[in-house]
Amino acid sequence: MKGYTMPTNKRWVILSESRIKNQELRGDALVTVLLKNRGLEKKKDVDTFLSPKLTDVTAKSVGIDLDQQKKALKRIKKATVDQEQIVVFGDYDVDGITASAILWETLHELGAKCLPYIPNRIDEGYGLSIKGITNLRKQIPNTRLIITVDNGIVAHKAVDFANEQGIDVIITDHHTVGEIEPKAHAIVHTTNLCGAGVAYLLSKELRQMSFRAKQSEAEKSHTTGKPERSVVRDPSTSLGMTLDDDRHLELAALGTVADLVPLTGANRTIVMYGLEKLRTTTRIGLVALFTQSGIKQDAIGVYDIGYIIGPRLNAAGRLASAMDSLRLLCTKDKSRAVQLASQLELINKERQFLLKEAAAHAIEGIKNQESGIKNILIIGHETYQEGVIGLIAGKLVEAFYRPAIVLSLGEVTSKASVRSVSGFDIVKFLRSHHEHFLTLGGHPMAAGFSIETAKIAQLQEILETSASELLSTDILTKSLKIDLELPFAVLDEELYQSLQQMAPFGMGNAEPVFATRGVKIENIRLLGKESNHLKLMVSQDGKSFEAIAFGMGELSAELKVGDKVDVAYVLDENTWNGNTKLQLKVKDIQNH
């Protein structure tokens, strides 16, 4: 279907029937409507959402099996006391890197003989693997305990291999459980957190266990008069840990935002308090990264993590070695931190260039397919680097609003990254055809697999046929959830500040979206190097606002000064030359 263009307009879904004609709904009353839109009506649920407590985030509250956690803690304690070689086996994305840093630092400080290991994306692939364990044993001989972070829940073959080598495995993960449960020593798992969140809770338990052991030794010493024997080092933690002491909370927040898990429940609590820590952290590597990327540390928010910090930490694992990102997070050498931050900046620029070229190639390839646009998009090429195929898949979803599979083609085997659309569980869909894959894992919205290259054509035909039956027009029509309609008359600083009670915003807790109908366009201009952004001045009943529409530059050909349109937007603040004023971040524009 050559010349295909994805329609800009979306189906508007108005969540509340409230119609605000004047000043009748303000402040807390408006927030009540917005919370109701998010399914929060009971006072207890509302209070928990607006005033979350970090102490409420526990293994039990997030659904971790406490018996499994107890087994994990006991095994780690034994390994620490006996000075067995422990390896923290991570992943190369931000979630895996931060989870690795959290657990490795904790074990190191508690006196364990421990080293981190992050597999190479190209040579070893994702997660715990037989090849990864084989390489690990060459580099870290005498390994007796592997603790996975952000991976492992589907690695039953690798766990069996480790067991055969006399290596115990403790899995800590948050991914969807496979059909076969690995025969690990213990499994600390929940889908309610990201990998860094799971590692964070396990690390807190390790520190508290250490504190209790030291406390018990002290009591015995006091009773017997014998000198106290230190079981493990624990320089910084007590059961009465305060937010200031919690040095790993900012890392858990980074992993949570970057991994796009819903910012609800425990995740929201971790991010809310973690942002406070990020704004004041003295962690040398993070400070260097903030400086290098031009971030104002005391104002860091979810956007900065998702679009500035996250991509830089991810870049090393996409094109080089993720160990450099881990080294940056853990280093205590300022000059080394600056060097690593600069290195990540350069790698990220290379990643941006590769993505731009490959995404443009993939989009053109989909547009020009002779068979037309299918319900699921599948495209591969030998030039697509494994490190960016997930990002290419994301670009295809943006362009066509279809689930997308992008393959990095190899002579014998190929790697694929998959992104989905809301309402379609992609990993469940792929697992219904599991016999075609060499490896497969992921989330409802994102997955990855490897496959024999010779079988791709057959798989494509099967998946396209299956998707045509399962994906309805409703699922493939991009919708925009709008909280309620508002007139410009009620938009002011007081309303904006009321909305901030609901922050931090992100996946699962989107910024409130409002719609105003019949606004007049007073001015139009294009922004950006490629004129792909639109800036408007819009007014209603004498009140006007600047409105920025990112990625909507093509609408300039359809709009003209004097037109009346309906606008969906997020209320935002813009600071320029020391002046702060409200602006609208446009989500969609439709004819009035």
Indicate which CATH number applies to the domain containing 568. 2.40.50.460
- CA dist 154 and 168 (Å) reads 16
* pLDDT of 231: 39
Give, in order, the Cα–Cα distances in Å from 3 to each of 263, 362, 363, 553, 555: 38, 14, 11, 18, 17
Shared-domain flag, residues 86 and 219: yes
Q: How many CB atoms neighbour CB 9 within 10 A?
A: 12
- CA dist 335 and 468 (Å) reads 55
Whole-model pTM? 0.89
- CA dist 295 and 344 (Å) reads 15
- CA dist 476 and 11 (Å) reads 11
pLDDT, tens digit (0-9, with 9 covering 90-100), for 346-391: 999 999 999 999 999 999 999 998 888 999 999 999 999 999 999 9
Answer yes or no: is 491 within a domain.
yes
Mean pLDDT of 311-320: 94
* pLDDT of 362: 97
- Compute the half-sphere exposure of residue 270: CA atoms within 13 Å on the CB side of its CA: 33
With residues binned 3-state (H G I as helix, E B as strand, rest as coil), the percentages for the chain, rounded to 5, are 45, 20, 35
Shared-domain flag, residues 554 and 439: no
Shared-domain flag, residues 417 and 506: no
Shared-domain flag, residues 382 and 521: no
For CA atoms 175, 399, 320, 283, give the dihedral sign: negative
Shared-domain flag, residues 434 and 395: yes
Domain containing residue 556: 11-48+480-591
Of all residues in the chain, the percent with pLDDT exceeding 70 is 93
Is 403:373 a contact under the CB 8 Å cutoff? no
Answer yes or no: is 273 within a domain.
no
> Is the per-residue pLDDT at 5 higher than 70?
no
Of the candidates 184, 216, 251, which is a domain's last residue? 251
Q: What CATH number should be reported for the domain holding residue 408?
A: 3.10.310.30
* pLDDT of 2: 37
Shared-domain flag, residues 420 and 395: yes
- CA dist 102 and 93 (Å) reads 14
Answer yes or no: is 484 within a domain.
yes
Shared-domain flag, residues 74 and 33: no
Q: Work out the mean pLDDT of the chain and round it to a whole number.
A: 91
Shared-domain flag, residues 43 and 169: no
Is 99:150 a contact under the CB 8 Å cutoff? yes
Answer yes or no: is 404 within a domain.
yes
Shared-domain flag, residues 22 and 106: no
Shared-domain flag, residues 23 and 102: no
Q: What CATH number should be reported for the domain holding residue 176?
A: 3.90.1640.30
* pLDDT of 9: 63
Of the candidates 251, 274, 303, which is a domain's last residue? 251
Mean pLDDT of 143-154: 97
Is 293:309 a contact under the CB 8 Å cutoff? yes
The structure tokens listed for 240 are 């009465």
Answer yes or no: is 177 within a domain.
yes
Of the candidates 444, 470, 496, which is a domain's last residue? 470
pLDDT, tens digit (0-9, with 9 covering 90-100), for 468-498: 999 999 999 999 999 999 999 999 999 999 9
Backbone angles phi, psi at 263, to 5 degrees: -85, 65
Answer yes or no: is 505 within a domain.
yes
The structure tokens listed for 242 are 């305060």
Answer yes or no: is 61 within a domain.
no
Answer yes or no: is 82 within a domain.
yes
Number of domains in the chain: 3
Residue 502 DSSP one-character state: G
Shared-domain flag, residues 457 and 486: no
Residue with tokens 């699921």: 376
Shared-domain flag, residues 463 and 440: yes
The structure tokens listed for 326 are 């881990």
How many helical (H) and strand (E) elements, i.e. helices and strands, does the chain have? 18, 18
Residue with tokens 């819903």: 262
Is 87:145 a contact under the CB 8 Å cutoff? yes
